[in-house]
Structure 1
């Protein structure tokens, strides 16, 4: 039985795939594109979380829990003794961790002591092997091979001049932050970072037969809010949050490509059924059963999806490697580890499975024609029988289901579910497609009507359109989805960038910013030199100098960005809404301002009590105001600068704002500021800061935009596929017309009118649906980034639709040329 099924599949299905190579290649290409997009999207987020997870395991080894600092300021070292005294703690290994440098030179400094050997980690093995070098070399450090340092070399590292005591070999170094690592004994690392008596984390190895849950509770009580007790994967979870918005938005765009690909597979299978009607009818007349024929068609589609998915997944691996460099630096630098490109283990299987399932689903719908066509009817041209007609009951069911999907999308978009709200975009587009299925007949009639506008060639083309309603509807949907995606998601992203830019316009009120990293990366550290502020105050022409701090902090299992300002420095427009009374309460440490996403995740609102864990213990404050804020990386908690310095033990500032005195020579003052600031610090004007942040936000949407245009190109391939089927179906008819004296130009125009009917109708539907989804998308994106996004329809949406339509119509050229060049004798002799 299995042998018979294989022979039938090999002869009638796989043989057809080779016989119609063009159709096979097109189907595999579009499925490959979908698989490639999915793999690249998964790889982008997986690389960030995977890099953090890899670093965590390299440092933590067999640690069951980690006690970590609430911010990068860490916690007091005496807390270590309290941790070691907790029952059930087998080993407590202290560490100091701090990122050094930026960009390609970014590295991680690790400080540890001899107890690290108890972790059984890569770090412990390295220290055990080269401990003697560190003990005998003053201020000695071990460096990874990627650092480009030689043994014995001296270089400035933080506040000390360090000596390279040893270089970690490539194999070992690659396991720890990709070789961009500096390892020192704990006292040396504390001197380098000017953090004597401070720790960043303590890795906990549980004693034998200890319940980890109970141990976590005892440790939490012991640290009393001065630090965070969590599983080692907490850092990975927090890193995933930073890239989640990019992942969701790109997945929504990739889903559009997969839907379009499914329609193309449907058309390909419809083409297969149409071309094989004589063979199918003969098999049915000889007693063949319908079910094996349908199963063979589905197996054929699954094979297409599998091959296309495998090829696309391989290409997607390389696409992801390129795309990861397009991520905004603020996202990449928000995690302590260097991002190393890697493809998650689930990425390729999930992408291939999605392609196979989409192909099977599309093929199953197309293969239903085999069940509905009787043996004698199967000899008739496609579209004549009942197989291409939609039953009234099915239309009503589709209409109800479509309305339900759209209603669900509206509820999800309005429900403020955070980044999950983005799912409303794909759901609404799916609902529109289902509604359009219920309206198949009016849509096909509209396509035929548009074709008739082009005179006699259009009249002939309209008859072909009406003979294959399902196929025409499917192609209209591919064009509609392409235009909808461009109009809706493209314009919503543009509105988001505009809203984010407007929210940061307040930065332009400050003349100059000095920060350790570029302003678009939200400078969270290291702290600026302690004497820098006084130097800037002393510059002639400086009217005022203010401080600000930004710092990532753990709040619950999530991560927030602490922000504190002085003299209005670096304040954004959304924070200007905080009243003077609330600012006075903030100065007393009575309250804080939080962004919407923080309020949502913690379940608080204005007036709620909130407990903040800090290195100085837990502090209970009141939520004074919930504000919209661009929270693509992390939510925001705003508090008074002096309070932040006291509670979180972070003296100094990460941003200094400088205002010029009235009448001062801006160029001269700017030159003096640059001269006073160390060379490795950043100096930007307020307007430059706004522009840089705007560019960073726009860069974050560039990957999604690229995927959308790929969807349009896939739509063009779908139109090519449908029109090629139309030409193949009518080879005899076209040959007779040519024999009767019809010109090649007339036939060329006939096929082009079909394309125009399909393209124009699909584009108009896309504009209508896209405009509605655009509004819904602005609401969903507003919840995703925790700020208000205004809906601004743009004349560009028509331009986008015309460009998308033009690209789609390009697919009509090859079939039209084939129809015009079809040899008369060959066409008449077909079948």
Structure 2
């Protein structure tokens, strides 16, 4: 064991220190992938973790939770029915909603007199106040606040911007910090109902079952007792629903992270190929001294595992930092339904899993390159690299690579077209591996094409072409580095652009409304109701020809949080305009509902089937009129007539008004007049602004994906620099001889640049073709995930992106070319 460690330290670790630039580049590649994986998994885990933590901090060991089907909660009268159900030991009513307290986002918690039944952080944090019965049972406007709000004891402050309360106690400590990071306001139940505008309503009822009773049986009994007018589930149900709100973010970042991990594996293969080529003399000497191929190969794989481990650890640290920053920058459309303060909660398994994935990716990819060690003979390998034909690789291996590549592509196409959701997104990485294997299978013609391009640059290009042909394996590695950069930028940025363009196009009809009056900004879902009388006030504005009300709400359907849309005649809502004229009439008449395609798939229903919706007024069985490709960003949308939604879900009023301006009236003037008659909290914007809001909600996702793609390009440029620098170092004597017989520095510089141009141009051309193909597959996969028809639309910008990636990669050829031109003739000729 000690001898093995000494050998690794003397040979492999020393090589890493000597060639620290290449080692650093390899670690950087793996670190980027690790950072992406940790960031993606960390953000997803933080969302569910924050909701779970809040649920546990409030409910403690509660067995069940009764909550509203919509965000309006449940009627307070249900508390008696819950308490009277067999197997229920205690039922604690709660108000639990987001508010603005002293100008800061906070969680408002309303508690009844039996709050002491909660064995949780909430009960621990206010145990002293509960023992004194204040302020939970107080009739005054006194509240308990968490220390995170920065409100002092006795200080009056505003809640929801209009009602003044007084902090009679400020609590802090570990239990309070675990409760929404101490950003909370606790009030008596009646006061909390008044502050939240929910008189006679409860957000939830926490249920504690009798010892020995099966919670599943109690849940069934509660559902029966409540006649299906509320959701009865475990307290963790909210977390499961919350994660569905981030489907698009998870899908897009999963795509980028999976592709990045494959890129890391491929560039690890490149780095190992370079290392083996550079160490051929050392390997041959070890073989001549009796070293076994298996021992040498295992040492190289240890080196790759070390690089993967270091990259995984370093990248995980950066991924944690990125995740912490990302949590605070999530689009408002994704967090508006969450009542918890999002904290960074990294699942314990994320970092170990990421490090293991990085080690496996680096080691497995390097193992393919390390097979070259078997071709190193003790005598032949002492010759300069590229002097023998062994460098071309095994014909049998190329055939196997071609077959494997074709199989991987077939598997990818099968998975993508099988509508397997997010698995299809992850499978896109297989297509990258498959195309890489096919490129290896056809490495001969590809290298010949690169040499032909290099010859186009005159006499210096002829020399560059000869170099390409003499070291085909190394040049193939360099070319694939360029191809990787171009494919990644074209495929990832192109697919993202297609997804955004298709999403915006699917909402195009909302721009046909001249003015929108909404309870939320254009970038958010308008689930709150406008003040009563808003539609009449808007209709009375001069220049208004028509006002069409509609309503939006979040509800639970088949244990999933979905969006409900109540639609009236002449609505510009896309899910309505996408229906046939006959289905529109049937929907408005209340004869059925329309489902978004993703919801229909998850519920396993088709047009013509019947479904049962839980509503606050009891279960409603309705017919599915159509499945519509419609983007909701969640897990689906149900569209129904506005009358049905108002009646079934007990939600009188509207959340949006679609306003048509009379012919001849100035839309800007009418819009300004509308702003004057609506409530201050209402939003007024044009149809174009509404459409722009849809696009801007995805801007942050686009920015993340774009940054990821260009990081890969920069890393590829560094790898190309390493490859060409190795080529220059191996040919120092040859370059010295050329200089000695009259070759100028300019000629030498041009030869190296011509070599790089041949590699880069062919690699970029292949990258554009393969990138467009992968972009097409990704568009199909995103169609299934996002529930809209993502159209594959190659654009001229693809060529610009490819050329930009090529230019950055070719910049990596400049330092080796300058080094070759500046080589001292005497030193070069005397090089070993």
**Band the TM-score falls in, shorter-chain normalisation:** over 0.9
- Displacement after TM superposition at 1:387 (Å): 5.0
Question: Structure 1 pair 667/249, CA: closer, same or farther in 2 (3 Å)?
Answer: closer
Q: CA deviation at 1:776?
A: 2.1
Query: For residues 141 and 547 of structure 1, do their structure 2 counterparts lie closer, same or farther at Cα, with a shift above 3 Å needed?
Result: farther
Distance change (3 Å), C-alpha of 1:407 and 1:318: same
CA 1:812–1:324 in structure 2 vs 1: closer, same or farther (change >3 Å)? farther
Contact 2:548 2:568 in 1 (8 A): yes
Matches within 5 A, 1:748-767: 748-767=749-768
Shift of 1:430: 2.1
Measured after TM superposition, the shift of residue 803 of structure 1 is: 0.7
Q: Residue 142 of structure 1 contacts residue 182 of structure 1 at CA under 8 Å; is this kept in 2?
A: yes
Match of 2:369 in 1: 366
Equivalent of 1:502 in 505, 508, 512: 505
8 Å contact from structure 1 (residues 250, 707) kept in 2: no
Deviation at 1:634, TM superposition (A): 3.5
Q: Are residue 138 (structure 1) and residue 140 (structure 2) matched?
A: yes
The Cα of 1:520 is off from its aligned counterpart by 1.9
1:338-364, Cα deviation, whole Å (9 max, x unpaired): 322343333322332222112212221
Distance 2:264 2:28 in 1: 9
C-alpha separation in 1, matches of 2:431 and 2:691? 34
**CA offset at residue 638 of structure 1?**
0.4
Query: Given that residues 483 and 763 in structure 1 are in contact (C-alpha distance below 8 angstroms), is that contact kept between their aligned partners in structure 2?
Result: yes
Conservation of the 8 A alpha-carbon contact between 2:122 and 2:175: no
Partner of 2:180: 177
Task: Compute the displacement of 1:754 (Å).
Answer: 1.9
* C-alpha separation in 2, matches of 1:452 and 1:70: 71
Deviation of 1:584 (Å): 4.4
Distance 1:207 1:467 in 2: 81
Written as runs of structure 1 = structure 2, the 5 A alignment for 1:113-512 is 113-131=112-130, 132-136=134-138, 138-150=140-152, 151-157=154-160, 160-169=163-172, 171-385=174-388, 388-512=391-515
**Contact 2:521 2:683 (C-alpha < 8 Å) held by counterparts:** yes
Task: Answer yes or no: is the 8 Å Cα contact 1:159–1:192 preserved in 2.
Answer: no
Residues of 2 paired with 1:44 and 1:567: CA distance?
41
- Given that residues 424 and 777 in structure 1 are in contact (C-alpha distance below 8 angstroms), is that contact kept between their aligned partners in structure 2? no
CA distance in 1, matches of 2:421, 2:314: 35
Structure 1 window deviating more from structure 2 (201-210 vs 9-18): it is 201-210
Q: Distance in 2 between matches of 1:631 and 1:667?
A: 29
Question: 1:46 & 1:752 partners in 2: Cα distance?
Answer: 48
Aligned partners of 1:61 and 1:121 also within 8 Å: yes
Between stretches 811-820 and 670-679, larger displacement belongs to 670-679
SS in structure 2 at match of 1:99: strand
Partner of 1:792: 793
2:96 match: 97
Tell me which residue corresponds to 2:802: 801
* Equivalent residue, structure 2, for 1:652: 653
Deviation at 1:685, TM superposition (A): 1.5
Structure-2 residue corresponding to 1:46: 45
SS at match of 1:521: coil
Conserved 8 A contact 2:258-2:426: no
Contact 1:116 1:123 in 2 (8 A): no
Q: In structure 2, how many angstroms separate the alpha carbons of the residues matched to 1:201 and 1:510?
A: 38
Deviation of 1:384 after TM superposition, in Å, equals 4.2
Alpha-carbon distance in 2 for matches of 1:160, 1:603: 47
Is 1:563 paired with 2:562? Answer: no
SS across alignment from 2:637: strand
Counterpart-to-counterpart distance in 2, 1:300 and 1:104: 55
Give a deviation string over 1:123-165, Cα, whole Å, max 9, x none: 2223433341343461332233343444340425488543333
Instruction: Give the aligned partner of residue 33 of structure 2.
Output: 34
| Residue 547 of structure 2: aligned partner | 545
Q: Compared with structure 1, are the counterparts of its residues 577 and 365 closer, same or farther at alpha carbon in structure 2 (3 Å cutoff)?
A: closer
Gaps of 5+ in 1: none
Alpha-carbon distance in 2 for matches of 1:305, 1:346: 18
Does the alignment pair 1:824 with 2:799?
Answer: no
Query: 1:604 deviation in Å?
Result: 0.5
Residues 1:359 and 1:114: Cα distance change in structure 2 (over 3 Å): same
Q: What is the CA–CA distance in structure 1 between the aligned matches of 2:300 and 2:309, rounded to whole Å?
A: 14
Q: Deviations over 1:701-750 (max 9, x none)?
A: 22112211111112111211211111121122222222333222222222
Distance 1:453 1:117 in 2: 84
Q: Is the 8 A contact 2:454 2:758 kept in 1?
A: yes
Partner SS for 2:8: helix
Deviates further, 237-246 or 314-323: 314-323
Which deviates more from structure 2 when the two are superposed, residues 86-95 or residues 293-302?
A: 86-95
Query: In the aligned structure 2, how far is the partner of 1:587 from the partner of 1:807?
Result: 57
The question of whether the paired residues in 2 share the 8 Å contact of 1:383 and 1:468 is answered with yes
Give the Cα–Cα distance (whole angstroms) in 1 for the partners of residues 305 and 354 of structure 2.
14
Q: What is the SS of the residue equivalent to 2:181?
A: helix
Aligned to 1:723: 724
Counterpart-to-counterpart distance in 2, 1:613 and 1:757? 65
Task: Find the counterpart in structure 2 of residue 711 from structure 1.
Answer: 712
Q: Distance in 2 between matches of 1:45 and 1:436?
A: 36
Post-superposition offset of 1:583: 4.0
Following TM superposition, by how much is the alpha carbon of 1:620 offset from its aligned partner in structure 2, in angstroms?
0.4
Distance in 2 between residues matched to 1:427 and 1:152, nearest whole Å: 60
Report the Cα offset of residue 528 of structure 1.
1.8
Matches of 2:409 and 2:301, distance apart in 1:
30
Query: Which is further off, 557-566 or 615-624?
Result: 557-566
* In structure 1, C-alpha distance between the alignment counterparts of 2:340 and 2:450, rounded to whole Å: 55
**2:15 maps to which residue?**
16
CA contact (8 A) 2:101 2:159 kept: no
| Residue pair 1:487, 1:797 contacting (<8 A) in 2 also | yes
Alpha carbons of structure 1 residues 491 and 83: separation in structure 2 relative to 1, 3 Å: same
Q: Tell me which residue corresponds to 1:84.
A: 83
Alpha-carbon deviation of 1:763? 0.7
Are the equivalent residues in 2 in contact too, given 1:401–1:431 (CA < 8 A)? Answer: yes
1:55 and 1:175 in contact (8 A); partners too = yes
- Does the 8 Å CA contact 1:57/1:121 hold for their aligned counterparts? yes
Q: CA-to-partner distance for each residue in 1:634-687, whole Å, 9 max, x for gaps?
A: 311001112112211222222223333333344443333222233333221221
| Worse-matched range after superposition: 220-229 or 642-651 | 220-229
Moved more, 665-674 or 455-464: 665-674
**Which residue of structure 1 aligns with residue 71 of structure 2?**
72
Q: In the TM superposition, what is the alpha-carbon distance from 1:601 to its structure 2 partner? A: 0.3
Asked if 2 retains the 8 angstrom alpha-carbon contact of 1:257 and 1:710, the reply is no
- Give per-residue Cα distances to partners, 1:24-78, cap 9 Å, x unaligned: 2222222222222222222232232222222222122112322221111122222
Cα distance in 2 for residues equivalent to 1:644 and 1:222:
24
